[in-house]
DNA sequence: GACATATGATCTGCCAGACAACACATATCG
DNA sequence: CGATATGTGTTGTCTGGCAGATCATATGTC
């Protein structure tokens, strides 16, 4: 790039409302990049972190549920958990109610590591929202949360997949 | 703002503020899925659509700029544009100012197809935000746009949203 | 002008992840 | 008990991301 002092700043007059997909994609890529630095030590980086997070805070009963919740392929989840187990962060236990299933639980080490990482991840998240004022960030977080939660519920009926028939045993809560 | 009088969905009770990454990821996956149906005819699906969109509306002078803008690898961009050219949607022209560079321009066919698809994509986008009221969707779009533009050091001109006007009202989750 | 360096585009090779198909154990239902 | 469905793991394939090399051209320096 030659005598072009200002080109790194793209102009926004070209950025229209129709760029919704670009906006989400850009945000997600920035988020991934920011978080990747923080969780570099966790096996499989941000994905491993997310799995650990759901294992600790979520209540996904099986590995399949875990995978579906995070949008990860179930065959990948096998290796992912393998490596988390090897790192001493989680354990595979036999599910007491279904001997086909493995209940993935966090070790003390895993919970401690997660607690430490959560703070840094939160900071990394905020760094991706630098353009917004603090209260606006909370608005964005709230809206995204409602959209994502709403999607999970309609996803069962709406998007391609046939309604998931829950076995009686699976009905918890 | 943490006060959550009645969560709309039981399953969402477990979803905390800390799930920002999960929320974005879920939204992006839903967006990709919804758009993929609409743009199935465009080579490489949603990615091809986004490239076409930027070619028509954007201001990216080279393929590298195009790739960087969309977060796509530059080597992939080559094949991507190859297929768009083969489909008759875009053309590679020699850049008048830099004979190394190729300026990618849309054909009439490409512009017509894009115009048609944009409407359907817009509808698909909205379908991913079913959980929000129309005015809330606009707030979300605006916030995402400012975040994404901020991440790319894009000057949010003209449209210059004043700070979100209904911050608290928007969060009724 | 000659030269070194930087950039745009392409190609090649390697690797991680998505995906399908299969196998096996077990659960559920008739 | 038998049929079917589900959870998990394994294997193989395919696409895309990524690093490196190559070639053409542009730019800066002398």
- Does the pLDDT at position B89 exceed 90? yes
pLDDT given for residue A19 in this prediction: 82
B2 in A contact zone (CB under 8 Å): no
With distances taken from each CA to the C1' atom of nucleotide C6, the closest residue turns out to be A1
Q: Which pLDDT band, with edges at 50, 70 and 90, does A163 fall under?
A: very low
HEC-encoded secondary structure of chain A: CCCCCCCCCCECCCCCHHHHHHHHHHHHHHHHHHHHHHCCCCCCHHHHHHHHHHHHHCCCCCHHHHHHHHCCCHHHHHHHHHHHHHCCCEEEEECCCCCCCEEEEECHHHHHHHHHHHHHHHHHHHHHCCCCCHHHHHHHHHHHHHHHHHHHHHHHHCCCCCCCCCCHHHCCC
**Which domains, and CATH codes, for chain B?**
22-128 (1.10.10.10)
For A9-28, the pLDDT digits (tens) are 444 444 566 689 999 999 99
**Among candidate residues B58, B41, B43, the one with its CA nearest the CA of residue B120:** B41
Q: Which A residues, 64 through 123, put their C-beta within 8 Å of a C-beta on chain B?
A: 69-71, 118, 121-122
Is B1 in contact with A138 (Cβ distance < 8 A)? yes
The model's pTM is 0.82
For A68-115, the pLDDT digits (tens) are 999 999 999 999 999 999 999 999 999 989 999 999 999 999 999 999
User: What percent of chain A lies above the pLDDT cut of 90?
Assistant: 69
pLDDT given for residue A151 in this prediction: 87
Mean of the per-residue pLDDT values for chain A? 81
pLDDT given for residue B154 in this prediction: 59
Is A50 in contact with B153 (Cβ distance < 8 A)? no
Mean of the per-residue pLDDT values for chain B? 81
Is A133 in contact with B12 (Cβ distance < 8 A)? no
pLDDT given for residue B15 in this prediction: 56
Report chain C positions within 7 A of protein CB atoms. Answer: 6-13, 17-21, 25-29
């Amino acid at each position: 790039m030659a005598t072009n002092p200002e080109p790194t700043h793209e102009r926004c007059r070209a950025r229209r409302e129709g760029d919704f997909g670009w906006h989400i994609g850009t945000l997600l890529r920035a988020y991934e990049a920011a978080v990747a630095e923080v969780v570099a030590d966790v096996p499989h980086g941000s994905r491993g972190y997310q799995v650990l997070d759901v294992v600790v805070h979520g209540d996904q009963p099986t590995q399949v549920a875990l995978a579906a919740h995070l949008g990860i392929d179930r065959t990948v989840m096998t290796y992912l958990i393998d490596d988390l187990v090897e790192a001493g962060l989680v354990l595979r236990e036999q599910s007491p109610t279904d001997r086909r299933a493995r209940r993935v639980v966090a070790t003390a080490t895993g919970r401690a590591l997660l607690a430490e990482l959560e703070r840094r991840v939160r900071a990394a998240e905020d760094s991706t929202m630098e353009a917004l004022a603090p209260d606006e960030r909370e608005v964005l977080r709230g809206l995204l949360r409602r959209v994502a939660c709403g999607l999970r519920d309609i996803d069962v009926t709406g998007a391609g997949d046939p309604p998931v028939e829950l076995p009686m045993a699976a009905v918890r809560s």
